[in-house]
Amino acid sequence: MADIIKLLPDHVANQIAAGEVVQRPASVVKELLENAIDAGACTIKLIIKDGGKILIQVVDDGMGMSATDARLSFERHATSKIQKAEDLFNLNTKGFRGEALASIAAIAHVEMQTKPESEELGTHLKIEGSKIIFQEASVTPKGTSMAVKNLFFNIPARRNFLKSNQVELRHITDEFHRVALAHPTIAFHFYNNGSELFNLPSDNYRKRIVNIFGSRTNQKLVPVEEETPIVVIKGFITKPEFAKKSRGEQFFFINNRFIKSPYLHHAVVAAFEGLIKSDSYPGYFLYLEVDPASIDINIHPTKTEIKFDDEHSLYAILRSTVKHSLGQFNVAPALDFEH
């Protein structure tokens, strides 16, 4: 019989990959914010219009890109962050898959301006449905601006599936919180339809939390600190009397990356046993540092699920650390820590 297998053209492959990486505007926000952080930005601006359906723009003052890199960054598996498989076990960046920009450019209209500090002129580039339609040298400040318009313009089914602007904005805000909490020393500005939602100066962890969730949060926080050979834990839990019926202010960060972990959540809840009702949840902002070689973050495209080498020890340490902090909170004055 005749051969029937063909390699998919790049723009089709990119569109398929985009389905995994980009579920909704908030996914784009996450990817662009993480790229800005990986670029070493000190200040990051997020600009949204109509729940991200019309515009998602991230402006950073990071390292920028050369004209060639600007073009290459939209190719699939194009990344400056890893070079070989072993690098996966020693990641210091948010990104590494080299998929986000290729995916986003396959399903939206993207306009980029970028310039490394050392160059006189930067690059202005437009790409739509994986096709570069414009590239020119341009006068632009150091750093990168990435504007994503008309998300899912070529996938009507996906576009119709999007929720109201308000709901999409809530998802975007959740992503923004996660990134801003993980990087308190980076300043963030967040505008929606022209009005400023957040203006977060460079701060320590406690002040970043309070800036996001309001000044009344300050008195709710109990510091948590522990150092063991397998994990360093810092952060805060909220006092038991502030436990809520609804879930919400619960954050785990592993090596400054927000993650979801029902298992670790259970460890924290177990530490509150007897102090809160069984149908309510404690709030927490917990920052865990582990050896990058002891985790695998490559099990899911959005990288919010992580596999740990030694889950059981982590569980036990977390639980006893939180328990210890709870036992101390009304005797010790609230401590602060810088980073």
Residues lying near Mg ion in the complex (CB under 5 A) are found at 35, 95, 100
Which residue lies nearer to ligand ADP by CB, 191 or 337?
191
Sequential DSSP letters for 165-194: HHHHHHHHHHHHHHHHHH-TTSEEEEEETT
Q: Minimal distance in Å, beta carbon 28 to ligand ADP?
A: 11
Look at the chain and count its residues. Answer: 339
Task: Report if residue 180 touches ligand ADP, rule: CB under 6 A.
Answer: no
**SS3 letters across 74-109:** CCCCCCCCCCCHHHHHCCCCCCCCCCHHHHHHHCCE
Instruction: List the alpha helices (DSSP H) in the chain.
Output: 10-21, 25-38, 67-72, 100-106, 156-161, 165-182, 205-213, 262-271, 311-328
Comparing every residue's Cβ against Mg ion, the nearest one is 95
Identify the bridge partners of residue 48 per DSSP, sorted by sequence position: 56, 192
Which residue lies nearer to ligand ADP by CB, 239 or 303?
303
Task: Report if residue 35 touches ligand ADP, rule: CB under 6 A.
Answer: yes
- Of these partners, ligand ADP, Mg ion, none, which one is at the site of residue 65 (CB under 5 to 8 Å by kind)? ligand ADP
Query: Is 115 in contact with 162 (CB distance < 8 Å)?
Result: no
115 three-state secondary structure: strand
Task: Report if residue 95 touches ligand ADP, rule: CB under 6 A.
Answer: yes
Total residues contacting ligand ADP by CB under 6 A comes to 23
Quote the distance between the C-alpha of residue 309 and its chain's center: 23
Provide the mask over 48-77, with x wherever binding to ligand ADP is found by CB under 6 A and - wherever it is not: ------------x-xxxx-------x----
Among 81, 126, 142, 323, indicate the residue that binds ligand ADP (CB under 6 A): 81
Task: Report if residue 80 touches ligand ADP, rule: CB under 6 A.
Answer: yes
H or E stretch at 34: helix 25-38
Whole-angstrom Cα distance, residue 189 to residue 253? 21
Task: Report if residue 108 touches ligand ADP, rule: CB under 6 A.
Answer: no
Task: Report if residue 110 touches ligand ADP, rule: CB under 6 A.
Answer: no
Among 14, 15, 79, 325, indicate the residue that binds ligand ADP (CB under 6 A): 79
Which residue lies nearer to ligand ADP by CB, 87 or 174?
87
Tokens of 324: 């210890």
Which residue lies nearer to ligand ADP by CB, 66 or 154?
66
Which residue lies nearer to Mg ion by CB, 79 or 123?
79
Q: Minimal distance in Å, beta carbon 65 to ligand ADP?
A: 5
Task: Report if residue 88 touches ligand ADP, rule: CB under 6 A.
Answer: no
- Of these partners, Mg ion, ligand ADP, none, which one is at the site of residue 36 (CB under 5 to 8 Å by kind)? ligand ADP
Which residue lies nearer to ligand ADP by CB, 31 or 111?
31
Task: Report if residue 116 touches ligand ADP, rule: CB under 6 A.
Answer: no
- Cβ atoms within 10 Å, residue 7: 7
63 three-state secondary structure: coil
Whole-angstrom Cα distance, residue 208 to residue 75? 36
Query: Is 96 in contact with 82 (CB distance < 8 Å)?
Result: yes
Whole-angstrom Cα distance, residue 49 to residue 269? 38
Comparing every residue's Cβ against ligand ADP, the nearest one is 95
Which residue lies nearer to ligand ADP by CB, 96 or 252?
96
Task: Report if residue 28 touches ligand ADP, rule: CB under 6 A.
Answer: no
* C-alpha Rg value of the chain to the nearest Å: 21
Query: Is 50 in contact with 165 (CB distance < 8 Å)?
Result: yes
- Of these partners, Mg ion, ligand ADP, none, which one is at the site of residue 127 (CB under 5 to 8 Å by kind)? none
Identify the bridge partners of residue 225 per DSSP, sorted by sequence position: 234
Which residue lies nearer to ligand ADP by CB, 99 or 168?
99
